[in-house]
Amino acid sequence: MGSFSVWHWLIVLVIVLLVFGTKKLRNVGTDLGGAVRGFKDGIKDSAEAAAEAKRQVGAAGTTVESEAKQETKV
Could you tell me if 31 and 39 are in contact, meaning their C-beta atoms sit under 8 angstroms apart?
no
The answer to which of 2-6, 16-20, 57-61, 64-68 has the lowest mean pLDDT is 57-61
| The pLDDT of residue 59 | 58
Measured CA to CA, the distance from residue 18 to residue 28 in angstroms comes to: 15
pLDDT digits (tens, 9 = 90+) for 24-57: 888 888 999 999 999 999 999 888 888 887 777 6
| The pLDDT of residue 2 | 62
Measured CA to CA, the distance from residue 23 to residue 17 in angstroms comes to: 10
Could you tell me if 37 and 29 are in contact, meaning their C-beta atoms sit under 8 angstroms apart?
no
Q: Compare 7 and 61 and report the one with higher pLDDT.
A: 7
Measured CA to CA, the distance from residue 4 to residue 49 in angstroms comes to: 45
